[in-house]
Amino acid sequence: MKFNVKAFGYSVENAKFLAAASNLVYDDFNDPDVINTIESWGFEKQKIMFFDSHGTQAFLAVDDEKIIIAFRGTEPDKLKDWVTDAKVRKTSGPYGDVHRGFSKALSYIWSNIEEAIDDVRDNNQTIWLTGHSLGAALATLATGLIQTNEEPLNVSGLYTFGSPRVGSHRFAKNFNYDNACVYRFVNNNDVVTRVPLSITYSHVGSLIYFDNDGKLLHDKELNWWNVFWDGLEGRLESSFHLNPADGITDHSMDEYEKNIKGS
Protein backbone atom coordinates (compact mmCIF):
# COMPACT_ATOMS: atom_id res chain seq x y z
CA MET A 1 0.00 0.00 0.00
CA LYS A 2 1.38 3.39 -1.00
CA PHE A 3 2.21 6.12 1.52
CA ASN A 4 3.67 9.56 0.89
CA VAL A 5 5.92 10.52 3.79
CA LYS A 6 6.67 13.89 2.18
CA ALA A 7 3.04 14.97 1.93
CA PHE A 8 2.39 18.40 3.34
CA GLY A 9 -1.32 18.82 2.99
CA TYR A 10 -4.07 16.34 2.27
CA SER A 11 -2.98 13.08 0.61
CA VAL A 12 -5.46 10.58 -0.85
CA GLU A 13 -2.83 7.84 -0.60
CA ASN A 14 -2.24 8.54 3.07
CA ALA A 15 -5.97 8.78 3.79
CA LYS A 16 -6.50 5.30 2.34
CA PHE A 17 -3.52 3.89 4.24
CA LEU A 18 -4.52 5.39 7.58
CA ALA A 19 -8.18 4.41 7.13
CA ALA A 20 -7.03 0.82 6.64
CA ALA A 21 -4.92 1.09 9.80
CA SER A 22 -7.84 2.55 11.77
CA ASN A 23 -9.98 -0.39 10.67
CA LEU A 24 -7.34 -3.05 11.26
CA VAL A 25 -6.73 -1.94 14.84
CA TYR A 26 -10.22 -3.28 15.71
CA ASP A 27 -9.08 -6.84 14.96
CA ASP A 28 -7.82 -9.24 17.62
CA PHE A 29 -4.14 -8.49 18.19
CA ASN A 30 -3.54 -12.24 18.70
CA ASP A 31 -4.78 -12.99 15.18
CA PRO A 32 -1.74 -13.73 12.94
CA ASP A 33 -3.56 -12.03 10.06
CA VAL A 34 -3.11 -8.67 11.80
CA ILE A 35 0.67 -9.01 11.77
CA ASN A 36 0.58 -10.39 8.23
CA THR A 37 -1.46 -7.43 7.01
CA ILE A 38 0.87 -4.86 8.57
CA GLU A 39 3.86 -6.72 7.14
CA SER A 40 2.20 -6.55 3.71
CA TRP A 41 2.28 -2.76 4.09
CA GLY A 42 6.08 -2.90 4.23
CA PHE A 43 6.79 -3.17 7.97
CA GLU A 44 9.02 -5.82 9.54
CA LYS A 45 7.43 -8.06 12.18
CA GLN A 46 9.93 -7.06 14.86
CA LYS A 47 9.05 -3.39 14.30
CA ILE A 48 5.34 -3.78 15.03
CA MET A 49 4.19 -3.17 18.60
CA PHE A 50 0.82 -3.58 20.29
CA PHE A 51 -0.48 -1.78 23.37
CA ASP A 52 -3.43 -2.95 25.45
CA SER A 53 -4.37 -1.84 28.96
CA HIS A 54 -7.74 -1.29 30.65
CA GLY A 55 -9.53 -1.48 27.31
CA THR A 56 -7.34 1.12 25.60
CA GLN A 57 -5.60 -0.36 22.57
CA ALA A 58 -3.28 0.76 19.79
CA PHE A 59 -0.53 -0.45 17.52
CA LEU A 60 2.68 1.19 16.37
CA ALA A 61 4.59 0.24 13.22
CA VAL A 62 7.89 1.70 12.10
CA ASP A 63 10.09 1.50 9.02
CA ASP A 64 13.01 3.59 7.80
CA GLU A 65 10.77 6.50 6.80
CA LYS A 66 7.75 6.65 9.08
CA ILE A 67 6.07 5.73 12.35
CA ILE A 68 2.36 4.89 12.20
CA ILE A 69 0.30 4.86 15.40
CA ALA A 70 -3.33 3.69 15.20
CA PHE A 71 -5.76 3.77 18.14
CA ARG A 72 -8.78 1.52 18.52
CA GLY A 73 -12.26 2.98 18.96
CA THR A 74 -15.37 1.67 20.68
CA GLU A 75 -19.02 0.97 19.95
CA PRO A 76 -20.82 4.22 19.00
CA ASP A 77 -23.71 3.74 21.42
CA LYS A 78 -21.29 3.26 24.32
CA LEU A 79 -19.21 6.27 23.30
CA LYS A 80 -22.26 8.48 22.84
CA ASP A 81 -23.55 7.59 26.32
CA TRP A 82 -20.11 8.29 27.77
CA VAL A 83 -19.54 11.71 26.23
CA THR A 84 -23.08 12.97 26.85
CA ASP A 85 -23.09 11.93 30.51
CA ALA A 86 -23.98 14.92 32.68
CA LYS A 87 -21.05 14.07 34.94
CA VAL A 88 -18.50 14.60 32.16
CA ARG A 89 -15.76 16.98 33.25
CA LYS A 90 -12.70 18.42 31.59
CA THR A 91 -9.11 18.15 32.73
CA SER A 92 -5.93 19.96 31.78
CA GLY A 93 -4.51 18.82 28.45
CA PRO A 94 -1.62 19.68 26.12
CA TYR A 95 -3.25 22.75 24.55
CA GLY A 96 -6.06 23.48 26.98
CA ASP A 97 -8.84 21.64 28.77
CA VAL A 98 -9.85 18.25 27.34
CA HIS A 99 -12.44 15.56 28.00
CA ARG A 100 -11.42 13.81 31.22
CA GLY A 101 -12.53 10.37 30.06
CA PHE A 102 -10.51 10.54 26.85
CA SER A 103 -7.46 11.75 28.75
CA LYS A 104 -7.75 8.94 31.29
CA ALA A 105 -8.18 6.31 28.57
CA LEU A 106 -5.02 7.48 26.80
CA SER A 107 -3.05 7.51 30.05
CA TYR A 108 -3.32 3.72 30.36
CA ILE A 109 -0.96 3.17 27.42
CA TRP A 110 0.65 6.53 26.74
CA SER A 111 3.89 6.10 28.68
CA ASN A 112 4.56 2.83 26.85
CA ILE A 113 3.88 4.42 23.46
CA GLU A 114 6.07 7.40 24.32
CA GLU A 115 8.90 5.08 25.31
CA ALA A 116 8.45 3.08 22.11
CA ILE A 117 8.71 6.21 19.96
CA ASP A 118 11.97 7.12 21.70
CA ASP A 119 13.33 3.61 21.14
CA VAL A 120 12.43 3.16 17.46
CA ARG A 121 12.84 6.65 16.01
CA ASP A 122 16.43 6.23 14.88
CA ASN A 123 16.26 7.78 11.41
CA ASN A 124 14.26 10.97 11.95
CA GLN A 125 11.16 9.14 10.75
CA THR A 126 7.99 11.15 10.17
CA ILE A 127 5.19 10.47 12.67
CA TRP A 128 1.57 9.83 11.64
CA LEU A 129 -1.41 9.17 13.91
CA THR A 130 -4.87 7.90 13.18
CA GLY A 131 -7.97 6.45 14.79
CA HIS A 132 -11.73 6.06 14.56
CA SER A 133 -14.37 7.02 17.14
CA LEU A 134 -12.75 6.93 20.60
CA GLY A 135 -9.54 6.06 18.77
CA ALA A 136 -9.78 9.37 16.91
CA ALA A 137 -10.03 11.23 20.21
CA LEU A 138 -7.02 9.36 21.58
CA ALA A 139 -4.99 10.04 18.43
CA THR A 140 -5.82 13.75 18.75
CA LEU A 141 -4.68 13.89 22.37
CA ALA A 142 -1.56 11.87 21.56
CA THR A 143 -0.68 14.33 18.80
CA GLY A 144 -0.92 17.15 21.30
CA LEU A 145 1.28 15.35 23.82
CA ILE A 146 3.95 14.55 21.24
CA GLN A 147 4.09 18.15 20.07
CA THR A 148 4.16 19.71 23.54
CA ASN A 149 6.51 17.27 25.24
CA GLU A 150 9.66 18.50 27.00
CA GLU A 151 11.47 17.33 23.88
CA PRO A 152 8.72 17.93 21.31
CA LEU A 153 8.57 16.07 18.02
CA ASN A 154 6.74 17.16 14.91
CA VAL A 155 3.68 15.14 13.91
CA SER A 156 3.53 15.08 10.12
CA GLY A 157 -0.14 14.17 9.93
CA LEU A 158 -3.24 13.28 11.94
CA TYR A 159 -6.15 11.66 10.09
CA THR A 160 -9.24 10.92 12.19
CA PHE A 161 -12.51 9.20 11.30
CA GLY A 162 -15.79 9.78 13.13
CA SER A 163 -14.16 11.74 15.93
CA PRO A 164 -16.08 13.23 18.84
CA ARG A 165 -15.09 16.69 20.02
CA VAL A 166 -12.05 16.34 22.26
CA GLY A 167 -11.42 19.61 24.07
CA SER A 168 -12.40 23.17 24.81
CA HIS A 169 -12.51 26.03 22.32
CA ARG A 170 -9.11 27.15 23.61
CA PHE A 171 -7.72 23.65 23.15
CA ALA A 172 -8.95 23.54 19.55
CA LYS A 173 -7.60 27.00 18.73
CA ASN A 174 -4.13 26.25 20.11
CA PHE A 175 -4.09 22.77 18.60
CA ASN A 176 -4.95 24.06 15.14
CA TYR A 177 -2.33 26.80 15.40
CA ASP A 178 0.37 24.20 16.07
CA ASN A 179 -0.83 21.45 13.69
CA ALA A 180 -1.35 22.18 10.00
CA CYS A 181 -1.92 18.69 8.62
CA VAL A 182 -4.94 17.51 10.60
CA TYR A 183 -7.86 16.01 8.68
CA ARG A 184 -11.15 15.10 10.35
CA PHE A 185 -13.39 12.85 8.27
CA VAL A 186 -17.15 12.92 8.88
CA ASN A 187 -19.50 10.52 7.12
CA ASN A 188 -22.93 12.06 6.47
CA ASN A 189 -25.03 11.65 9.65
CA ASP A 190 -22.36 10.13 11.90
CA VAL A 191 -23.84 10.74 15.35
CA VAL A 192 -20.56 10.51 17.27
CA THR A 193 -19.14 13.60 15.55
CA ARG A 194 -21.85 15.71 17.24
CA VAL A 195 -20.78 15.04 20.81
CA PRO A 196 -19.88 16.41 23.30
CA LEU A 197 -21.99 19.48 22.61
CA SER A 198 -20.34 22.44 20.90
CA ILE A 199 -21.33 24.80 23.72
CA THR A 200 -18.10 23.96 25.54
CA TYR A 201 -16.23 21.69 23.10
CA SER A 202 -14.76 22.29 19.63
CA HIS A 203 -13.51 20.09 16.81
CA VAL A 204 -9.94 20.34 15.54
CA GLY A 205 -8.48 20.18 12.06
CA SER A 206 -9.84 20.52 8.55
CA LEU A 207 -13.21 18.91 7.89
CA ILE A 208 -13.49 16.35 5.11
CA TYR A 209 -17.14 15.40 4.69
CA PHE A 210 -18.76 12.49 2.86
CA ASP A 211 -22.23 13.49 1.70
CA ASN A 212 -25.26 11.24 1.45
CA ASP A 213 -23.98 9.88 -1.87
CA GLY A 214 -20.49 9.17 -0.52
CA LYS A 215 -18.97 12.14 -2.34
CA LEU A 216 -15.92 13.64 -0.63
CA LEU A 217 -16.09 17.37 0.08
CA HIS A 218 -13.36 19.47 1.70
CA ASP A 219 -14.21 22.15 4.26
CA LYS A 220 -13.65 24.94 1.73
CA GLU A 221 -16.49 23.47 -0.33
CA LEU A 222 -18.83 23.35 2.64
CA ASN A 223 -20.78 25.52 4.99
CA TRP A 224 -23.03 24.62 7.90
CA TRP A 225 -26.15 24.86 5.76
CA ASN A 226 -24.80 22.39 3.16
CA VAL A 227 -23.99 19.82 5.82
CA PHE A 228 -27.33 20.29 7.58
CA TRP A 229 -29.43 19.75 4.46
CA ASP A 230 -27.34 16.86 3.21
CA GLY A 231 -27.62 15.16 6.57
CA LEU A 232 -31.36 15.76 6.63
CA GLU A 233 -31.64 14.15 3.20
CA GLY A 234 -29.77 11.13 4.51
CA ARG A 235 -32.06 10.81 7.51
CA LEU A 236 -35.17 11.06 5.32
CA GLU A 237 -33.89 8.40 2.96
CA SER A 238 -33.08 6.16 5.91
CA SER A 239 -36.62 6.53 7.22
CA PHE A 240 -37.99 5.30 3.90
CA HIS A 241 -35.68 2.28 4.16
CA LEU A 242 -36.88 1.67 7.73
CA ASN A 243 -33.41 2.35 9.10
CA PRO A 244 -33.71 4.88 11.93
CA ALA A 245 -30.14 4.19 13.04
CA ASP A 246 -28.61 6.12 10.14
CA GLY A 247 -26.28 8.02 12.47
CA ILE A 248 -24.93 4.75 13.88
CA THR A 249 -24.53 3.15 10.44
CA ASP A 250 -22.69 6.21 9.16
CA HIS A 251 -20.27 5.90 12.07
CA SER A 252 -19.01 2.49 10.95
CA MET A 253 -15.31 2.45 10.09
CA ASP A 254 -16.18 0.12 7.22
CA GLU A 255 -18.29 2.93 5.74
CA TYR A 256 -15.46 5.41 6.10
CA GLU A 257 -12.96 3.10 4.45
CA LYS A 258 -15.36 2.28 1.62
CA ASN A 259 -15.96 5.98 0.89
CA ILE A 260 -12.26 6.81 1.02
CA LYS A 261 -11.41 3.98 -1.36
CA GLY A 262 -13.98 5.39 -3.75
CA SER A 263 -12.77 9.00 -3.50
Please report the pLDDT score of residue 199 as a whole number: 85
In angstroms, rounded to a whole number, what is the distance separating the alpha carbons of residues 179 and 144?
9
Please report the pLDDT score of residue 235 as a whole number: 44
In angstroms, rounded to a whole number, what is the distance separating the alpha carbons of residues 136 and 130?
6
DSSP characters over 119-139? HH--S--EEEEEEETHHHHHH
202 touches 167 (CB < 8 A): yes
Q: Quick one: the chain helix, strand, coil %, rounded to 5?
A: 45, 20, 35
Local confidence pLDDT in tens for the 263 residues of the chain: 899 999 989 999 999 999 999 999 999 999 999 999 999 999 999 999 999 999 999 999 999 999 999 999 987 667 666 665 545 689 999 999 999 999 999 999 999 999 999 999 999 999 999 999 999 999 999 999 999 998 899 999 999 999 999 999 999 999 999 988 999 999 998 988 888 888 889 999 999 999 888 889 888 766 654 545 444 444 444 433 434 455 678 999 999 999 999 87
Sequence spans of domains, the chain: 12-261
171 touches 141 (CB < 8 A): no
Domain 12-261 matching CATH 3.60.150.10: the answer reads no
Chain-centroid distance of CA 120 in Å reads 22
This prediction has a pTM of 0.90
